[in-house]
Amino acid sequence: MVEYGLLAGAAFAAGFVDAVVGGGGLIQIPALFSTMAGTAPATLLGTNKVASVFGTSAAAVNYARRTPIAWSTVAPAAIAAFLFAFCGAFTVTKIPPDFLRGLLPFVLMAVAIYTFYRKDLGSVHAPLHTGAKERVLAILVGAGIGFYDGFFGPGTGSFLVFLFVRSFGFDFLGASAAAKVVNVACNLAAILLFGMTGHIIWQLGLMMAVCQVVGSVLGTKLALKHGSEFVRRLFLVVVVLLIIKTGYDAWLK
């Protein structure tokens, strides 16, 4: 029961952070691995996805009610992410993602530095693309992030927020809303894959999902209330924590 209590708290915190800027896996995945040490890693990852998809879906719905979602960008990205998340998950069964482990902290560091010094980045919602160019770029972003999420995964939500801001000209609030929809697509692909192979503890995953939804609703409300600058600041905090966590995993473990 103590373990379930800890996992419930971790799921709530993960749902809150994920709803605003992504990166909830930074909290939820270590909590699962530390409290369920005797369980197969694939089963823990599958259970994590069940909890995450509910929290992310709740955030996506709440954002859609309060702020416009650029479906002309988001829909192609989400479809591509769903398809390529399967490809990434299949690839990881053939090629270990060890090379990404060492590279990831430096990529995240570049994202953090760029965002910190570009004070105006994501402050105004001014979409940069329309028509075919918008759709093609959205498919490329969705495919790349979807493959990465299936193959490795840490920081997927934060990467999506950054790419929607940098590549499409969204403000941080709009980017966070768009990222949630694409993240749902990635999570659904992973759940299908893990579910077909029996790597999900449904009772635990659904319990954590309830806590994720509660955290997600609170996080979404705060993001909508305080706007893009609040999202930008929390984004930088989460990316710095991701740098520390992924750097430790890659170089110090």
Q: Where are the domains of the chain?
A: 2-252
**CA-CA distance, 77 to 213, in Å (whole number)?**
24
Q: Whose CA is closest to 150, among 88, 71, 60, 229?
A: 88
Q: What is the pLDDT of residue 117?
A: 86
Q: What is the pLDDT of residue 253?
A: 67
Q: What is the pLDDT of residue 154?
A: 76
The pTM is what? Answer: 0.88
Determine the residue type at 230: F
Judge whether 12 and 51 are in contact, CB under 8 Å: no
**Per-residue exposure over 155-190, b if at least 16 CB sit within 10 Å of its own CB, e if not:** bbbbbbbbbbbbbbbbbbbbbbbbbbbbbbbbbbbb
Q: At what angle do helices 202-247 and 172-196 cross, to 10 degrees?
A: 120
**CA-CA distance, 2 to 4, in Å (whole number)?**
5
Residuewise pLDDT in 10s, the chain (253 residues): 678 899 999 999 999 999 998 888 888 988 998 888 888 888 888 899 999 999 999 999 999 998 889 999 999 999 999 999 988 887 876 777 777 778 888 988 999 999 888 887 777 888 888 889 999 999 999 999 999 988 888 789 999 999 999 999 999 999 999 999 999 999 999 898 888 888 899 999 999 999 999 999 999 999 999 999 999 999 999 999 989 988 888 787 6
Q: What is the pLDDT of residue 214?
A: 97
Q: What is the pLDDT of residue 66?
A: 87
Judge whether 62 and 168 are in contact, CB under 8 Å: no
Q: Determine the Cα angle at 97 with ends 188 and 105, to 5°.
A: 95
CA separation, residue 234 to residues 2, 51, 159, 192, 206 (Å)? 30, 22, 14, 31, 27
**CA-CA distance, 107 to 104, in Å (whole number)?**
5
**CA-CA distance, 100 to 136, in Å (whole number)?**
26
Determine the residue type at 116: F
Q: Kindly tell me the sign of the dihedral angle through the C-alpha atoms of 128, 61, 21, 55.
A: negative
**CA-CA distance, 180 to 170, in Å (whole number)?**
14
